[in-house]
């Protein structure tokens, strides 16, 4: 998630030199030949758009604009989230940053980060549509400043209003099933439950709740948003059958954002392929992977004792 947009104040000299030697290799790594299911025939659809990448990336907190550019390239992301509230774009703030983001050629997903009421979120969404010419909006209505937990009532109210206004709403919410169902029924383009509090990097805190969301909302587009910190976390939720993941801090605040972006891209692919393949059932007891049917008992006993059986 993009709760803080600080990119206009970034210096290109910060951090760029450290990642430059590996950038070409990482771009090649992210774009290397992947299994067919991770490329063309497993595309997904949201808000009338077909996408190949199942990794959505935020654009804040990177050490430099160049590192952001290279991380986006390494990730293969086709959708970038951008925040408006802090930059005051209506007064021309952050123009260079917006131009740089536009040059990356990705679908823009403006967000309403920092809004505390449905009214604030709706107004900011209307501004975003005017500024960027897109009806996509990542809806965030904060209910608690300490945990940054979404306000369920404000989120549902704003979602219904924005859908009526013709927006494709990507609604950030908790892992509450009833709220997710209400948002889906209201017509949002995607329901985006958190895995853990934003920026915590703790990974999925309630896999049962996330699994239940997927099972109970089979027709909804579900994107895990917030709380992922490691590539393994992304693989975990993708194995559950989620359509995609959205993250920001896990890449931007890593020691090497470019390399981490490539790692997340591969983890998302691995989790998706694991879901499609179907994992073996979990068991309470062990089961030998090597068949022993037909082997005489005395042979097994002799092998354990390290001697040949008697004639």
Kindly indicate the confidence band of residue 63, based on its pLDDT and cuts at 50, 70 and 90: very high
Band (287; pLDDT cuts 50, 70, 90)? confident
Give me the pLDDT at residue 305, please.
61
In whole angstroms, what is the distance from residue 223 CA to residue 91 CA? 33
Which sequence spans correspond to the domains of the chain?
24-280
Mean pLDDT (the chain, rounded): 84
Per-residue model confidence as pLDDT tens digits over 210-253: 999 999 999 999 999 999 999 999 999 999 999 999 999 999 99
Q: Which residue has the higher pLDDT, 13 or 209?
A: 209
Q: Which among 118, 119, 115, 137 has a CA at the least distance from the CA of 128?
A: 137
d(CA 138, CA 225): 11
Catalytic sites, residue numbers: 138
Q: Give the span between the Cα atoms of 213 and 139, in whole angstroms.
A: 19
213 or 30, which is more confident: 213
Q: What whole-number distance in Å separates Cα of residue 247 and Cα of residue 198?
A: 9
Is residue 111 within 8 A of residue 83, CB to CB? The reply is: yes
CB 242 within 8 A of CB 223: yes
Q: What pLDDT does 299 receive?
A: 55
Instruction: Tell me the backbone φ, ψ of residue 247, rounded to 5 degrees.
Output: -150, 160
Per the CB < 8 A criterion, the answer to whether 248 and 264 are in contact is: no
How far apart CA 176 and CA 277 sit, in angstroms, is 28
Share of the chain above pLDDT 70, in %: 77
Contacts of 115 (CB under 8 A, 6+ apart): 85, 121, 124, 140, 141, 142
Binding region for 1-deoxy-D-xylulose 5-phosphate: 199, 226-227, 248-249
Q: Which residue has the higher pLDDT, 191 or 197?
A: 191
Choose among 136, 141, 184: nearest CA to 160.
184
Per-residue model confidence as pLDDT tens digits over 71-95: 999 999 999 999 876 555 555 556 7
Residue 33 has pLDDT above 50, yes or no: no
Residue positions in the annotated binding site? Answer: 199, 226-227, 248-249
Record: fold of 24-280: TIM Barrel (3.20.20)
């Amino acid at each position: 998630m993009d709760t803080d947009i600080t990119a206009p104040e970034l210096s290109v000299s910060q951090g760029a030199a450290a990642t430059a030697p590996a950038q070409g290799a990482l771009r090649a790594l992210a774009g290397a030949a992947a299994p067919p299911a991770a490329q063309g025939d497993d595309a997904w659809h949201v808000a009338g758009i077909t996408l190949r990448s199942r990794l959505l990336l935020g654009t804040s907190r990177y050490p430099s604009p160049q590192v952001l550019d290279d991380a986006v390239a390494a990730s293969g992301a086709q959708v970038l989230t951008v925040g408006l509230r802090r930059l005051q774009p209506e007064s021309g703030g952050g123009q260079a940053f917006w131009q740089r983001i536009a040059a990356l050629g990705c679908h823009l997903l403006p967000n309403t980060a920092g809004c505390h009421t449905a009214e604030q979120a709706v107004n900011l969404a209307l501004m975003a549509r005017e500024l960027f010419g897109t009806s996509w909006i990542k809806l965030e209505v904060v209910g608690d400043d300490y945990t940054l937990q979404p306000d369920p009532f404000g989120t549902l109210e704003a979602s219904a209003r924005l859908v009526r206004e013709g927006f494709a709403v990507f609604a950030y919410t908790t892992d509450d099933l009833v709220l997710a169902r209400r948002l889906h029924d209201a017509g949002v383009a995607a329901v985006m439950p958190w895995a853990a509090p934003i920026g915590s990097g703790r990974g999925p805190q309630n896999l049962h709740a996330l699994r239940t969301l997927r099972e109970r909302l089979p027709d909804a587009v579900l994107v895990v948003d917030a709380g992922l910190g490691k590539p393994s976390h992304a693989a975990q939720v993708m194995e559950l059958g989620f359509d995609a993941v959205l993250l920001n801090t896990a890449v931007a605040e890593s020691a090497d954002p470019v390399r981490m972006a490539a790692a997340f891209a591969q983890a998302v692919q691995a989790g998706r392929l694991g879901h499609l393949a179907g994992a073996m059932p979990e068991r309470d007891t062990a089961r030998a992977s090597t068949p022993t049917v037909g082997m005489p008992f005395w042979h097994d006993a002799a092998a354990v004792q390290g001697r040949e059986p008697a004639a």
